[in-house]
């Protein structure tokens, strides 16, 4: 992962004020939404407003455009805009409700240059997660836990038990093919405690970050998905100890009473790379 995706903030492309505001927010990435957050009557105007907004400077924040589905009245027009006016202003295109790799093929054929991301939010998408993750144009996956809950007719639980099979399948698929994967949104944007608990759960599971709906969710999310100072310190000590052990012809070192092998060093290097990517974001 060359960059951090701790916090990925949705902004309705119909909301000009929010798009302006995002230029100064601490999001690692922004999803400019043309899909569910934009009313049908506002779709065309939102596409134009987005083209205008993307002439502005969003710094190092990744600019991801969520288009409407190909089966809707707006999907193809959105895709053509991404291949045309938006092509050099966006960093990636996010496709909603991806059921299979064929859904990505359809968009890939219309947008030759930009990396694709997939919303993982349908039962078929969960079952086909591996072929979706394996798609050569796919860069990242975004969990759509609201749509998934709707499709499953599941109920909200703080432990997200009904989501676990879907989250797990998508995580396995993304990790197997080396793709970025970010967790779904936490709807109660004034509930900091609930957000923190869900971020911690997502981080424990291996997500790279979380999608957000409100700027008030940025600070907690950025903190939870960043390596803590203690993690960075441990990573450095593990690498040093392992390199010293290797010089002595040993394959194992011990740090803080725990063994350190090659695989731990790999994790330690990833921790340091993420810390560096985060530092670059805030330069
Ligand atoms: C949820 C909101 C409608 C709340 O909006 P609002 O009432 O305006 O909030 P505030 O007054 O508290 O806003 C304070 C300031 O922050 C700016 N703001 C608000 N939201 C955003 C944002 N997302 N990005 C950037 N800036 C934002 C306001 O403009 C205020 O600024 P200022 O004027 O300077 O005070 C609103 O937050 C919102 O619309 N959120 C996004 C909703 C959205 O995008 N939903 C779709 C994605 S979720 C989804 O579909 C997931 C998936 O598909 C699934 O299935 O799960
Ligand atoms: Mg959705």
ipTM of the complex: 0.98
**Ligand 1 within 6 A of 118 CB?**
no
Of the chain, the percentage scoring pLDDT greater than 90 comes to: 98
DSSP secondary structure, 68-125, as one string: PPTTSSSHHHHHHHHHTTTTTT-SEEEESS--SHHHHHHHHHH-SSS-EEEEE-SHHH
Query: Band of the pLDDT at 2, cuts 50, 70, 90?
Result: confident
218 lines ligand 1 (CB under 6 A): no
In DSSP terms, 245 is beta-bridged to: none
What is the structure's pLDDT at 161?
Answer: 98
Ligand with minimal distance to 150 CA: 1
| 150-178 pLDDT per residue, tens | 999 999 999 999 999 999 999 999 999 99
pLDDT at residue 34 tops 90: yes
pLDDT at site 283: 77
* 119: β partners: 142
Residue whose CA is at the smallest distance from ligand 1 atom 20: 214
Cβ–ligand 1 distance for 33 under 6 Å, the answer yes
151 lines ligand 1 (CB under 6 A): no
Map residue 220 onto helix, strand or coil. helix
């Amino acid at each position: 992962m060359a960059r951090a995706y701790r916090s990925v903030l949705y902004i309705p492309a119909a909301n000009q004020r929010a798009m302006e505001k995002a230029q100064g927010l601490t999001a690692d990435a922004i999803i400019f939404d043309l899909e569910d957050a934009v009313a049908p009557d506002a779709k065309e105007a939102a596409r134009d407003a987005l083209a205008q907004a993307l002439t502005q400077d969003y710094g190092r924040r990744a600019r991801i455009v969520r288009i409407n589905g190909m089966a809707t009245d707006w999907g193809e027009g959105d895709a053509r805009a991404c291949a045309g006016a938006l092509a050099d202003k966006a960093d990636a295109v996010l496709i909603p409700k991806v059921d299979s790799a064929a859904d990505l093929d359809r968009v890939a054929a219309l947008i030759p240059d930009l990396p694709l991301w997939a919303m993982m939010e349908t039962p078929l998408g969960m079952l086909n997660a591996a072929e979706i993750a394996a798609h050569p144009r796919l860069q990242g996956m975004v969990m759509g836990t609201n749509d998934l809950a709707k499709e499953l007719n599941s109920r909200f639980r703080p432990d997200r038990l009904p989501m676990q099979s879907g989250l797990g399948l998508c995580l396995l698929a993304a990790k197997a093919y080396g793709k970025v994967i970010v967790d779904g949104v936490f709807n109660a944007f004034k509930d900091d405690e609930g957000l923190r608990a869900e971020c911690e759960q997502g981080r424990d599971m291996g997500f790279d970050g979380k999608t957000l709906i409100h700027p008030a969710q940025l600070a907690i999310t950025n903190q939870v998905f960043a390596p803590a100072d203690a993690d960075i310190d441990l990573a450095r000590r593990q690498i040093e100890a392992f390199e010293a052990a290797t010089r002595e012809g040993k394959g194992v070192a011990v740090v803080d009473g725990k063994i350190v092998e090659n695989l731990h060093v790999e994790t330690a290097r990833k921790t340091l790379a993420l810390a560096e990517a985060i530092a670059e974001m805030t330069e």
